[in-house]
Structure 1
């Protein structure tokens, strides 16, 4: 006589609870994180020069910012440098104003027209 069993299906609900899935996602995300790059004085000065040049001539830029282990790119025009809050304000391509802290900036690239 053959035993009719559901096999692995009966354990599927117990092993993959929503908390378990979210924990697995967090572990995968933690493995993909990278340390923040350390910039020396020359690199920081070069970033500042590019930002000032882009603001003076209203050139489009791509600013890479580091946030919680990941780098994100923002595109737009440099609108304002705020020395008190230590941030750069850029107007993105869709017209939104983005604020990026100086400490979070990893790379600045001027886009050639």
Structure 2
């Protein structure tokens, strides 16, 4: 009696492998996270002054934003400051407005 073997089929990846790959990717992504920097009162005041200056003279800003452990950079013109909700509205491209939380801003540079 001959042994019936499945051949190469038994060596194919099991159905759990895609989830394992996704978990490995998530693990490496979590290792790159950074803690939110603590800003003192003077740095926040300087950021506010630079934002107001850029808004008054229609200059572009380069904002560094901490979001969920990662740093992002947004370059654009400040369209509006909402003091109640503590949001900035930044126009990065003509017609494209992004809302940025003021508490997440960790760096401001006037580009122009």
Q: What is the aligned length?
A: 105
Per the TM alignment, residue 75 of structure 1 is displaced from its structure 2 partner at its CA by: 1.0
Tell me whether 1:48 sits opposite 2:23 in the alignment. Answer: no
Q: CA RMSD in A?
A: 1.8
Deviation at 1:94, TM superposition (A): 4.1
What is the match of residue 78 of structure 1?
Answer: 78
- 1:44-85, CA deviations, whole angstroms, 9 ceiling, x for partnerless residues? 001001000000000011111111100111111001110111
CA contact (8 A) 1:37 1:106 kept: yes
The residue number in structure 2 matching 1:91 is 91
Within 1, Cα distance between the matches of 2:78 and 2:28? 35
| 2:22 alignment counterpart | 22
Answer yes or no: is 1:36 the counterpart of 2:36.
Answer: yes
Question: Aligned partners of 1:106, 1:25: CA distance in 2, in Å?
Answer: 27
Q: Normalising by structure 2, what TM-score?
A: 0.86
Q: Which consecutive residues of structure 1, in runs of 5 or more, have no partner in the other structure? A: none
| Secondary structure of 1:13 counterpart | coil
**Partner SS for 1:99:** strand
Q: TM-score, normalised by structure 1?
A: 0.85
For the 8 Å contact 1:63–1:109, the answer to whether it is kept is: yes
**1:107 equivalent in alignment to 2:78:** no
